[in-house]
Amino acid sequence: MTAKVRYRSDFHHTVYILNIALIAMSLPLSKYTQSVFEISLLLLWILSGFSFRIVFRFFQNGNVFEGILHTIEYIAITIRHNAVEKTKLFYRNKPAVITASVFLLYLLGLVYTSNFNYAATSLRIKLPILLFPLIFGSMPKISHREFKQILLGYLAALLAGVFIGFYIFFNKEFLDVRDMSPFINPIRFSLNISFGVFILLWFVFKERGYNNLEKAGFVLTIVLFLSFLVIMESISGMISIVVTLFVFGVYTVYKTKSRSLRWVIVIFIVGFPIAIYIYVNQVVREATTAPAIHTEQLDKYTKLGNPYTNNLNSQIENGKYVGLYVCEKELREAWNKRSRIKYDSLSNSGIPVSNTLKRYLTSKNLRKDAEGVGKLSNEEISQIENGIANCNYINDPGIKTRLLKIIYGIQHYKVSGDPSGNSILQRLEYMKGAILLFKHYPLFGVGTGDMEDALFEEYKLMKSKLKPEFMFHAHNQFLTMAITFGAVGLLWFLFALFYPPVKLHYFSDYFFLVFFIIMFLSMLSDDTIDTHSGVSMFAFFYSFLLFGRKTIKNIVS
């Protein structure tokens, strides 16, 4: 009998590990399978100890009807036993209870909300915050060997996602670099990649049991991950990696006894920001400074004999005046012959075709006339129709191109006052609206369901020039918590975020500390737990790393 019980326990544990691994592998690849395996994990939790052998015995010892009745009774007893006993275990795990209490905030916010449709959606999205602490806080902890296997599965899924992204990139099957993350939001994908980089670094430098060939494979994977972040222009992902390295660098300088290592790290800590500043400053200077123009030396007519207009007060694209060598008559006629979208109408992205065409031609160093339009390929015509205003956005994505987008957005904002379409300026506008809204409801906020309605109304009250399609949430998790639940809710959220790792001394754990830094940084620039992929990643790894495993990998080791 003992052997049979052990067999059932081992089988259930194996399925439990497999389920956790499938959730981890789903995080960068599929929101649908995330939900499916979250549900199956809950079933494993509630049916822990269930044995098919016992069910078969019911049917062997009686008729079918009695077997069904006994099976139903057995399932009910198993569910009741697990629900009672594991809930008791959960309530004894105070850090897990504190973590799950964030979900309670959203329930309490129903008391004074009015938009219950939005509230119901918000509660559904936030369910992982309740689910994972409950399960990992009441199930047996897994071994480091099993933990490592789960991480390897997670890395394999990340690598698959990166390969798919590279395929999209090399085949030019994208209109925006964000299309290279086809399964989940690109920001969330970049956060997963950033965490993956640090997992790989541990496997290369700290984890025992890997030979040199395997470690070389890990290093190559790190290079692929970093290259993909650059191509995808993921500022958030790269900042996460740099800041995390900075934190570990400062810690190492404080702890290490090696003077040479200390100096190397200090030079890196000081030198790297300086190098970034020099690079950014150079890109800005090149992008915003056009060469000296002598108007008397400019051509007055196109090859077809039509006059040019030259506006040296126009915006600058890639270091060239957009308003130089423009012939509206030829542009309109030549464009209308090649495109189904007329010159004086809007592109598929809602931007005037005329402006997009002029910017695109400028980025290719072509004149804005019939000859310039004639040199565009059919593929480039399609890009312009879809609102692509610079050839480098498709042909040369990366850090420099990302900076060029930001620079142009700032230039456009100075002229129009409209932050729409520029991620940094939009975030500043969102922050302004969120702060104003918080001042109206400082204590308890607007409630679970009214956050979006109230914030969008605040944008209108402050007469923001944001276009409706660019009106989004605060893009700062802490501000979002403040306007939803007020100062009281924000303080509790911060307590629930910091208390569990402090209580369990997990800020000394390498994996948890890396993940915490990445998540905290993401919350400064995004509503991380307000999206399905974001809250799943946060709730899963936060709970799994704190409550689900035995071994702590101390950063000092």
Phi, psi of 368 (to 5 degrees): -90, 70
Pairwise CA distance, residues 222 & 132, whole Å: 29
For the ranges 100-104, 210-214, 263-267, which has the lowest average pLDDT? 263-267
- Interval 376-426: pLDDT, tens: 999 899 989 888 888 888 877 888 888 888 887 887 787 777 887 777 888
Query: ∠ CA(297), CA(303), CA(304), 5° rounding?
Result: 130
| Residue 6 predicted with pLDDT over 70 | no
| Residue 516 predicted with pLDDT over 90 | yes
pLDDT in the model for residue 486: 95
Instruction: Tell me the three-class secondary structure of 171-226, residue by residue.
Output: CCCCCCHHHHCCCCCHHHHHHHHHHHHHHHHHHHHCCCCCCHHHHHHHHHHHHHHH
Confidence band, pLDDT 50/70/90 cuts, at residue 50 = confident
The three-state secondary structure class of 388 is coil
Q: What is the pTM of this model?
A: 0.88
Pairwise CA distance, residues 408 & 395, whole Å: 18
CA distances from 85 to 81, 82, 96, 547 (A): 6, 5, 16, 17
Amino acid (one-letter) located at 14: T
Confidence band, pLDDT 50/70/90 cuts, at residue 553 = low
| Residue 31 predicted with pLDDT over 60 | yes
Residue 288: HSE in the Cβ half-sphere, 13 Å Cα cutoff: 16
Evaluate whether 513 touches 61 at the Cβ level (below 8 Å): no
Burial tier of 84 (Cβ tally within 10 Å: 0-12, 13-18, 19+): exposed
| Residue 133 predicted with pLDDT over 60 | yes
pLDDT in the model for residue 95: 96
pLDDT in the model for residue 265: 83
Confidence band, pLDDT 50/70/90 cuts, at residue 2 = very low
Q: At what angle do helices 532-547 and 31-46 cross, to 10 degrees?
A: 40
Per-chain mean pLDDT for the chain: 88
